[in-house]
Structure 1
Amino acid sequence: MARLRPKPNSTPDDVAFGINAVGMALATGHAKSLLYWRETQNERVLALVERAREAGLRVEGVDARRLDELTGDGVHQGVLARIRAIEPVDLRRVAAEAGERSLVLLLDRVTDPQNLGAVLRTAVAAGVDAVVLPLRRGALLTPGVHRASAGLSFVAPVAAPQNLAMAIRTLKAANYWVVAAEAGEGSELATAFDWPRRTALVVGSEGEGIAPLLLRESDFRVALPMDPRVESLNVAVATGALAYLWVRQHRPGGPGDGRAGQTPAVG
């Protein structure tokens, strides 16, 4: 899933840096080797060094300048791991094996690594079954995303980058209803919306929103109620709020059964 766009002095795609991201890379078996600032006194970094050695990984102490170079002067906290590729989840398999209550996120034109990282943290916290990333015009699993997600990018169920319109059709065929997070005419208040048991939630960037093609493929549009002085919310904040509205309704013991029994049309 690495984005193959080599640039001079850029951060390599096969690294994770920062204490939380490296810790999760070690915990999930994605770390291949570890580099750390040889003069560090940080107990958390030293604990990661010990864990890596116990796991039989190559461990090397380097000067701070080397870590700065490898992270593009990112906030590395004195530790970096070389990582293995992250295996994507198969969207068709997820859709086929998900229970009667399932939430899938599709991210359209979300290009900021910080936003993607925050969305992945929400996805893990809320028990989302898959996060679908686009083939083009979107952030992928880069070192910045690993750091922004506190390493939860290593456990988030991310589907391979793909054509989002085709992904929507795949989900519709598996009895998901497609809900677009889009304000405007025809939108329902998300707080009053009767969320389908199997929901594919499409969210777009704060600036561009959701592409017209994806809006046409959607069954519903919802918007969060906001003070009129607020033009829009950060996509990560909005996604978290919408995901938990679904969770509130459809986790065991939650109110309502959504639109169980209805079958969406397959376009």
Structure 2
Amino acid sequence: MRASLLQIAVDEGESVDARRRRAASLVREQAGADLVVLPELWTTGAFSFESFGAEAEPLEGPTYEVMAKAASDAGVWLHAGSIPERDPDGPLYNTSLVFSPDGELAAAYRKIHRFGFDKGEAVLMGAGSELVTVRLPEITIGLATCYDLRFPELFRGLVDAGAEAVVLPAGWPERRRSHWTLLARARAVEDQMFVLACGTAGTHAGVAQAGYSVVVDPWGEVLAEAGGGEEVLTVEFDPAKVGTTRGQFPVLKDRVLGVERPRR
């Protein structure tokens, strides 16, 4: 299976429409890949909080239309990163979109864990409430977004839902880049799955981005890693390695569930 992670920069001098067109062109260039991935909130910038409201769009808005056509043109499964979604009956959401090779929407995931500690995304966006998986011909992927990476229980839930890989778009800050790689490897090891984590380059609202998109296998080995700038990271991997790893080292079978907390 071949995956391409599109680590693009969010340049404040580039309009959202121009960035949509550029991203769509990059997607089309990946024709022949099985899966293409874009980062989190690449239309606005993950830390450009003041633009979330102005640039928010309905689920089937302009980004949906452009990305659906790009997926169809390239004939790829496309995780189109996430957008600020405006729900007509509710708040904004940080919502990921996945398209099939015929341009149909296969899944949408509203980010569950919002970053900001009572400011920024944490107060401007609503929280998702559903775990989402998508069955590709070769593998079942689970969906997570950026800050979700710090919450292992979400990944265990995706394992229980049948995920063999997690695709995670992000706008991860450079100052915590060491956590990015560490946590991606940890989630891969503890859940015996592939982790495909696609970040952004450049600077969002003064916050330098980590870049360093990474693909990790079920043993925690880094199969491919980008640098800090704009880059297309392409990697080939064998989805069967999930089953092989879980068979050789069946740690997931030893999980003990429902343990009561000690009384105090």
TM-score normalized with structure 1 length: 0.30
TM-score normalized with structure 2 length: 0.31
**Looking at CA atoms only, which structure, 1 or 2, has the larger radius of gyration?**
1
The structure with more strand, counted as a fraction of residues: 2
